[in-house]
A and B are shown apart, each in its own frame.
Chain A
Amino acid sequence: MPTRTILLGCVIVLVAVIAGAPFVLNEGFLRLATECLLLLTMAQMWNLLAGYAGLVSLGHQVFIAFGAYALFLTSGWLEVTPIWVLPVAPLVAGAVAAIIAFPLFRLRDAYFSIAMWVFAEIIGAFTMKSQAVGGTSGMPLATSKLIDFDWFEPTMFWLAGGLTLVTIAALYKMMTSSFGLGLMSVRDNDLAAMSVGVDVRHNRFVAFVLSAAGCGLAGALSFMGNLFIAPLAAFDVNWSVYMMFIVIIGGIGTLEGPILGVIIFFGLRELMTGPLGLSGGWYLVGLGIIAVVVMIVAPRGIWPALRDRLGVRLLDVHRAAPRPAAATILPGASERVTG
């Protein structure tokens, strides 16, 4: 059977499962599933940037916050059910990303990562000062009275499920297209990619804006489910920690990796904070230890290691290199000044 048929079959089964799940699962479980799916979407978006475009962002929470605040404010102004203004969230987050890309793209590697973090801190500090968005105490969803609460949890779950499926399908399509090939060539060797005519800046820019928009939408959905937003939760650096750990543990630069990562992430959380009765802090310690061990033992993550051992290929967008890549050239000695 060709891969396309198998994938199509999987999609149909998944759509049916997501459509039917709210009728079978209880409310608590449904909320957990929604959370899983939203975090999976965010992790895929972070992975698009880190795993494919080679840009590690430690300030991605800023896009989650922008999306969520955009939804809360627009829904309040227009006085319509928040679901109808959801498209505002990715638009705002994407627009912010498009603007800050200009200064940030001058920076490379760790500089980009930390400058993103500083940017998130600055926006967070301004948000806490601004009384128009509720300051430090945050604000409730003004139009929550328009929500039909009988169907709220199932709707949230369907939206999250739909978003996850569309995200993964779109990423698969993108990574098998020439744009995806260009993106991966930039990640692997930007000089070589440029020399064959890949527009590095453009590719990175598109990945950055898409990643921000996706996080904005997922963040808006996440805070819509809470019916409340506060800056300490929205600008929490732990959003980036979660996205990063999920991607690193599962497998960076693969589409299946974050799925495996989310399963481990929530499995460990339910195990440690449930039956073992440990606090959230110890859970993060445990997750961090797993991430550090994975990075040392299998730097590409668990999924690629498993895939090579089992020979399973699911959503594979990998292309074999025609020959081994040349050894990296040592950077010039003259830049290294320590005195």
Chain B
Amino acid sequence: MIWVETLINGALLGGLYGLLGIGLALVFGVMRVVNIAHGEFMVLSAFCAVLLSNLFPQVSPLLMLIPVIALSFAVGWLYQAAIVNRVVTSPDPLSPLLLTFGVSVILRNVMVEMFGADVRSLQVGELSRASLEVGGLNIGIMPLLTLVLAALLFMALQLVLRHTEFGRIVRATADRRDIVRLSGVKPDRVYNYVMGLSLALGAIGGVLLAVRSSFTPFSGAERLLIAFEVVVLGGLGSFWGALLGGIALGMAQLIGLKIDPNAGLLYAHLLFFIMLLIRPSGLVSSRV
């Protein structure tokens, strides 16, 4: 029974991991850039939420998500416009990788200097301890809500990309950046919105993860690695795959923690590495 509970909790954690991955997947799908600074931006949004909830202690920290999401969107827009767009068309596929890695180092150390290296977390009071009892199993309300929210966001993103004009423009830009210009689309501007959307999604994941577990300015690297593993495990470009990948990683992590309490993310990393060996195309293998 304890194992069933572990598996269910792993799946719930997986919803959150899927949220970490989806922003990275979006940017990669549209502009073929792996934004290495994604993890640092998530930690930054968590710091913003902590600062805001210290400023307004009477407001529920979860409501702080709204200003943090808006702020993250603006930051992403500016980040893309000021920095990433300059290398996005570079013939060398390594330029964006190196550039975003440089940005991640800057952000991490600015956060260390500004907020200190202490361990922080976002307190939401009763909600984080509340749980539901279903057939003898204890299931946390907060993780359940997170999974539902993740599934809703995935669906919303899918709908937006499939059925709105913005979605069509984004998909067209992803396919042929040179040809959309003929229809009056400015690819760089589309990229700005996509990066904003990506960091807004990352902010949701970052803040919810800060509720679940503590963080430091150095947590960005581990969040990036989870996000990346989610995307690769799920199969590139597949959003539902990312959710599945997240669930697989969440289960691996919690089973690992049951066997070995101080394992941290070791078993999630191992699952990723083994999957790379046997199925490099991901769980949900789409077209090659």
A interface residues (Cβ-Cβ under 8 A, vs B): 50, 54, 56, 58, 103, 106-107, 109-111, 113-115, 117-119, 121-122, 125-126, 129, 237, 241, 244-245, 248, 279, 281-282, 284-285, 287-289, 291-292, 295-296, 299, 328, 330-331, 333-339
Contacts and interface: CB of A to CB of B under 8 A. Distances in A.
A299 B174 contact: no
B95 interface: yes
Contacts of B141: none
B103 A288 contact: yes
B176 A107 contact: no
A111 B232 contact: yes
Nearest to A111: B232
A296 B106 contact: no
Interface of B: 26, 29-30, 32, 34, 36, 83, 86-87, 90-95, 97-99, 101-103, 105-106, 109-110, 112-113, 158, 161-162, 167, 170-171, 174-178, 221, 225, 228-229, 232, 237-239, 260, 262-266, 269-270, 272-273, 276-277, 280, 286-287
B263 to A, nearest CB: 7
B176 A330 contact: yes
A328 B102 contact: no
A50 B105 contact: no
B266 A292 contact: no
A159 B175 CA distance: 53
B75 to A, nearest CB: 16
19 contacts: A110-B97, A114-B34, A114-B225, A115-B273, A115-B276, A118-B272, A122-B270, A122-B273, A129-B260, A244-B98, A244-B101, A245-B105, A285-B106, A295-B99, A296-B83, A334-B287, A337-B237, A338-B170, A339-B158
Contacts of A244: 98, 101-102
B106 A288 contact: yes
Given A56-B98, A241-B101, 13 more contacts: A58-B36, A110-B93, A115-B273, A115-B276, A244-B102, A284-B109, A285-B106, A295-B99, A330-B177, A337-B286, A338-B26, A338-B30, A338-B170
Given A118-B272, A125-B264, A50 B87 contact: no
B227 to A, nearest CB: 10
- Top 10 nearest A-B pairs (CB, nearest first) are A288-B106, A110-B34, A337-B237, A333-B175, A125-B266, A281-B109, A338-B29, A284-B109, A288-B105, A281-B113
A129 B262 CA distance: 9
Nearest to B29: A338
B287 A335 contact: yes
Nearest to A136: B262
A244 to B, nearest CB: 7
A102 to B, nearest CB: 9
Given A118-B273, A282-B109, A289-B106, A296 B99 contact: yes
B277 to A, nearest CB: 5
